[in-house]
Chains A and B, each alone.
Chain A
């Protein structure tokens, strides 16, 4: 996201005699949004006190303390047009990120974005002047050449990788690099959900499966835990206004994840219909556009998987994986195993555990219409 330049507030040279003035009193609070013309700070010269006014509107970032003596012409504050830039700058102590004397190697924004996406360390590139996007492209090309140049061992045969899978893996890699994931797990008696599906299906003449109940219950639980239905934008958490759960569906070697909007507002029968429809669509056209889901659900219980750690998806705070532990000697003892991976910058372990607890309760007592 581009930073919009902040306006720097300078101490004016009020007369030819004073090289330094004293900052006596701030008249606006740190982080306060001020309008142009608002008095910001009182300064005192050898002759008089005057108020320095805001040259534009913006969020105030104060750079000096009351009582400080500063040289005329020095910058005592910044006015940020956008709050997110104020938050970012305030955290870095006001050092402007584009100053060449910064500790990091000077690199253009385009170079950093490409390096980030490709997993290249831009600070490791040594050039005269600034690192540009072209330098990063050249490094990537050189690395590609190196790996291409190595002869492949002749004990294996090539097979195409579905392009969506590679793309998705790349997106997951970026997400993994940028987030620290936590993982919590719990188990639920499988019986109640299985029994519910049977009864509900019969009563409503609908082919309802546990996945439909998982979608509905997860959405209901997310309503009580909005921070798990969120994403991280730099230093800010952004809570999605809608719940859209992406359901992982495997179609001919491809995994697609169509998103179901607001499952909590739908009946189980509606959800089942959507699921069937989404599977058919995916089968007909595996090149569906990337999902805009806010949360992800993968159910591998049918495949005999007991427990797995799902991957975090970019722009999602958490993702749920469902497995099943069967007990052949006593069907009543079969259990769903829920595994929740979550972004530790947005959600902590306790909150994740409480979410799972709520979800567990809902699945033990399914009563959806």
Chain B
């Protein structure tokens, strides 16, 4: 998309919402403070209420209410996109997603599709404190029937949102706040910056593998989503240039349900894998995928799969103390460097 040249991720999301609403009358948008002139806390919905009038609902401050209403709208045939102002507030809508929207298709059969998309900004780095900086998507990963998707720099949100709005069930769509101001990109732009890119699909949504040398020559695969993938770009580059440690950075959009066959092919080719996320450690996305990697790729692994995450603590407001809790680039770089040198298992399988 040549228009991605000078767009931020937020602007590209905004344009995607405009296009979706223009193309499909069933798409409606709900959330607190999303109407113009304010246009949402992070401006992602700016211009929508002006263009689409009554299809944009500025709701009271009730996450349970807005998600419940959206679920009802979806049952009635609309295609609602709900904005929860901060991902931390998702907890107030948990029941509506966990016991209701995600279970309707299974409980009530055809005609009870409930394709609500719940969009929400997550993540730290702004000093917004313990209840405005979390990455809580991991708590939703295990909900049967609930798709979880993470936006990233290269994902085309218009296509991905359209896919999710086709249902049958609801989607939790997380956007890291730090991505909003970042430049949107495409694989051709990444290639012109010197990356070798391979596009494929994980769970029906695009994933990109980027590296400095062909993937078969990489020492390890590092998997991350959202802003964490963006942060890893500079770590991976530095490891390549300074240490000749070559990583294949894979950034999927689909987090749940996990469909990872294409990823395991890459892991088998390199023999080492690490998962990196900003959410708190233990019982995490990375912990689950590390288990799956061990199960699927056992014969090919040269080292145990690793998972990097933030410390499991309340996130402080103070910027320096925040960086002590939240995932540290330095720790990740050191961990990847050590992983690349790990060769403690005989490779029995081959290719």
In the complex, what residues of B have CB within 8 A of residue A130's CB? 194, 212-213, 240-241
User: Could you tell me if B181 and A129 are in contact, using CB atoms closer than 8 angstroms?
Assistant: no
Whether, in the assembled complex, A101 has its beta carbon less than 8 Å from a beta carbon of chain B, the answer is yes
In B231-246, the 8 Å CB interface with A consists of 237-238, 240-242, 244, 246
Most buried by A among B127, B195, B244: B244
Q: Which residues of B contact A110 (CB under 8 A)?
A: 244
Q: Would you call B41 and A108 a contact (CB within 8 A)? A: no
Within the complex, which residue of B42, B182, B241 is in contact with A109, where a contact is CB–CB below 8 Å?
A: B241
Q: Which residues of A contact B120 (CB under 8 A)?
A: none
Q: A2-B242, A98-B238, A101-B193 are in contact. Are A16 and B42 (CB under 8 A)?
A: yes
Q: How far is the CA of A5 from the CA of B243 in the complex (A)?
A: 13
The proximity string for A residues 91-119 relative to B, scoring 1 for CB distances below 8 Å and 0 otherwise, is 00000001111000011111100000000
Number of inter-chain CB pairs below 8 Å: 61
CB contacts (< 8 Å) of A128 on chain B: these are 196, 213-214
Q: Provide the B208-229 mask, 1 if CB < 8 A to any CB of A, else 0.
A: 0001111000000000000000
A72, A100, A108: the one contacting B194 at CB < 8 Å is: A100
Contact assessment for A108 and B241 in the assembled complex, using a CB-CB cutoff below 8 Å: yes
Contact status B193-A132, CB under 8 Å? no
- Chain B nearest CB, measured from A184 CB (Å): 41
CB of B198 to closest CB in A, whole Å: 12
| Contact string against A for B residues 311-343, beta-carbon threshold 8 Å, 1 for contact and 0 otherwise | 000000001100000000000000000000000
Q: Which chain A residues border B159 with CB–CB below 8 Å?
A: none
Q: Do the beta carbons of B194 and A129 come within 8 Å of each other? A: yes
Whether A171 is near chain B, meaning CB under 8 Å from some CB there, is no
**Majority SS at the chain B contact face:** loop
- Residues of A near B41 (CB, < 8 A) are 16
A12 near B238 (CB under 8 angstroms)?
Answer: no
Q: A55-B320, A101-B194 are in contact. Are A129 and B214 (CB under 8 A)?
A: yes
- The number of chain B residues with a CB under 8 A from chain A is 25
Contacting residues, chain B, for A12 (C-beta < 8 A) = 126-127, 319
Q: Which of A71, A99, A100, A128 has the most CB of B within 10 A?
A: A100
- With a cutoff of 8 Å between Cβ atoms, the chain B residues found around residue A13 in the complex are 126, 181
Determine the chain A residues whose CB is within 8 A of the CB of B211 once the complex forms.
Answer: 129
Total chain A interface residues with beta-carbon distance under 8 A: 25
Alpha-carbon gap, A133 to B240, bound state (A): 11
Distance between Cα atoms of A133 and B42 in the complex (Å): 45
Please name all residues of chain A whose beta carbon is closer than 8 Å to the beta carbon of B43 when the two chains form the complex: 16
Chain B residues within 8 Å of A111, by CB: 244
Hey, which chain A residues are within 8 Å of B238, CB to CB? 5, 98
Q: How far is the CB of B192 from chain A (nearest CB, A)?
A: 8
Q: Contacts A13-B181, A100-B237, A101-B193 given: A132-B244 contact, CB under 8 Å?
A: yes
Among A55, A73, A98, A129, max chain B CB count under 10 A is at A129
Contacts of A106 in B (CB 8 A): 194, 212, 241
Q: What is the minimal beta-carbon distance from A108 to any residue of chain B, in angstroms?
A: 5
* Chain A residues positioned under 8 Å from B195 (CB to CB): 100, 129
A73 touches B240 (CB 8 A): no
Contacting residues of chain A (54-94) with chain B, CB-CB under 8 angstroms: 55, 71-73
Nearest Cβ distance between residue B319 and chain A, in whole angstroms?
Answer: 8
- Which residues from B are CB-within-8-Å of A108? 240-242, 244
Chain A residue at minimal CB-CB distance from B241: A98
B interface residue numbers (CB < 8 A to A): 41-43, 126-127, 178, 181-182, 193-196, 211-214, 237-238, 240-242, 244, 246, 319-320
Can you offer 18 A-B residue contacts whose CB atoms are under 8 A? A2-B242, A5-B238, A16-B41, A73-B181, A98-B237, A98-B241, A100-B195, A106-B194, A108-B241, A108-B244, A109-B242, A128-B196, A129-B211, A129-B213, A130-B194, A130-B241, A132-B213, A132-B246
3 closest A-B pairs by CB: A100-B194, A130-B212, A98-B241
A residues contacting B by CB (< 8 A) are 2, 5, 12-13, 16, 19, 55, 71-73, 98-101, 106-111, 128-130, 132-133
